Chain A
């Protein structure tokens, strides 16, 4: 697609429920990143995919968080047993090449605002 698409744009869920957040990157972009942004803070890195594999998942806060990218394009971030502290905007970004090669920044999607009540 023309840009990075994230769905849903807003998600309200009850504490303890499972949620899936979807990211459709720019066509042809091999690298895909998930970040989380709380109010008044900068984006916090979660996980980065190069192709189908997770190249760096060091930012995932705990084992309730998991992400997949089975065909090297669309990615899904999965959160189990949601907690109120998971409430944030989840941003997805993509880039044409690996992080070390780019000099034009990532292209971000508009994010999914997750609210856990």
Chain B
């Protein structure tokens, strides 16, 4: 089975940096994904990590440590439109669908 843990809520200030953590316990591991979901909308893909280290994509970066079962999503230069839920999802080995965490609701305030 898989267990994915992330904080329920976070608040950060416009223009600041925020780090959203995700820890996971899986029997096998074949990749970790981050999604963004605005209220009432579909999740949209942000990033993918399968090897240890940092993947940078514009204002968003994602980090993975497989030995620690840990990932984080880093959002820089926060904008009000970044207020959303951020979902961490893990893929096990084999053709198994993604398992999602409960999501972290981020509120960006002025």
Proximity bits, B99-110, A CB within 8 Å = 1, else 0: 111110100000
Assess whether B103 is in contact with A42, with CB atoms less than 8 Å apart.
Answer: yes
Q: Is the interface of B mostly helix, strand, loop or mixed?
A: loop
Assess whether A50 is interfacial by the CB under 8 Å rule: yes
The contact of B45 among A4, A33, A104, by CB within 8 Å, is A104
Cα of A45 to Cα of B89 in the assembled complex, Å:
11
Proximity bits, A21-33, B CB within 8 Å = 1, else 0: 0000000000001
A residues near B87, Cβ cutoff 8 Å: 42-43
Assess whether A44 is in contact with B91, with CB atoms less than 8 Å apart.
Answer: no
Assess whether A99 is interfacial by the CB under 8 Å rule: yes
A residues near B31, Cβ cutoff 8 Å: 103
Q: Which of B89, B93, B95 has the most CB of A within 10 A?
A: B95
A residues near B35, Cβ cutoff 8 Å: 105
The contact of B91 among A99, A108, A110, by CB within 8 Å, is A99
A residues near B41, Cβ cutoff 8 Å: 110
Cα of A93 to Cα of B41 in the assembled complex, Å:
13
Proximity bits, B56-97, A CB within 8 Å = 1, else 0: 000000000000000000000000000000010101011111
Assess whether A41 is interfacial by the CB under 8 Å rule: yes
Cα of A99 to Cα of B94 in the assembled complex, Å:
8
Q: A91-B42, A108-B43 in contact; A56/B96 too (CB < 8 A)?
A: yes
Cα of A35 to Cα of B89 in the assembled complex, Å:
13
Assess whether A117 is interfacial by the CB under 8 Å rule: no
A residues near B98, Cβ cutoff 8 Å: 45, 99, 106
B residues near A35, Cβ cutoff 8 Å: 100
Chain B residues in the interface with A (C-beta under 8 A): 4, 30-31, 33, 35, 41-45, 48, 50, 87, 89, 91, 93-103, 105
